Amino acid sequence: MKFCSQCGATVSLQIPVDDDRERHVCTACETIHYINPKVIVGCLPVVGDRILLCKRAIEPRYGKWTLPAGFMEIRETSAAGAARETWEEAAAEAIDLALYRIFDVPHISQVYLFYRCHIANDAFGVGPESLESALFKEEDIPWDELAFPVVREMLGEYVEDRKSGQYPIRNTVIEYPRR
């Protein structure tokens, strides 16, 4: 950030009064510009004993498999955002959403909220950000071709949880890059 989005003057990094860390503060109108973490919302869509994955058509991780997910938008709920991403990436209507997994990824200032879901009529397709979509049984999941650590971790937990039929909501921190 170099300029004030309110008045167009330059900003400088300084610690505002009553604050304890540097912020971008406008040198003219004194507006304080806060930068905060972003929320990623997504789904883990299940059809019987198979999981819906999408092959990414965009960077980063072009060509790798992932779960439908993306940035939460203003004025939507996290579940609505997760369903929206499932529609956009897999042309599937997410239903029966149940919160399943929360990740903190402080290295990139992101919080992930993932929902388990079914998809209406078991129907899916390929959205503009995907090269293809497909259903995978556990033994067919492309573990070495998954796009992100959060996807690998969540899928591993899910196939374990499925054995008991218990899906506790978990939250952990992903240290990234992996050590």
- Residue ranges in contact with its own copies by CB under 8 A: 1-11, 18, 21, 33-39, 71-80, 99, 102, 104, 106-107, 109, 111, 113, 128, 168-169, 171, 173
| Closest separation in Å from C-beta 87 to its own copies | 11
| Closest separation in Å from C-beta 56 to its own copies | 15
CB of 63 or CB of 109, closer to its own copies:
109
CB of 141 or CB of 150, closer to its own copies:
150
CA–CA dist 34, 145 (Å, integer): 37
CB of 23 or CB of 50, closer to its own copies:
23
The single-letter code of the amino acid at 163 is K
CB of 104 or CB of 138, closer to its own copies:
104
| Closest separation in Å from C-beta 48 to its own copies | 26
CA–CA dist 119, 63 (Å, integer): 23
Q: Which residues contact 151 (CB under 8 A, 6 or more apart)?
A: 65, 66, 67
Q: Report yes or no: 78 and 41 within 8 Å, Cβ to Cβ.
A: yes
CB of 10 or CB of 143, closer to its own copies:
10
| Closest separation in Å from C-beta 142 to its own copies | 26
| Closest separation in Å from C-beta 108 to its own copies | 9
Q: What is the DSSP string of 46-76?
A: EETTEEEEEEE-SSSSTT-EE-SEEEPPTTS
Q: Report yes or no: 149 and 174 within 8 Å, Cβ to Cβ.
A: yes
Q: Report yes or no: 116 and 71 within 8 Å, Cβ to Cβ.
A: no
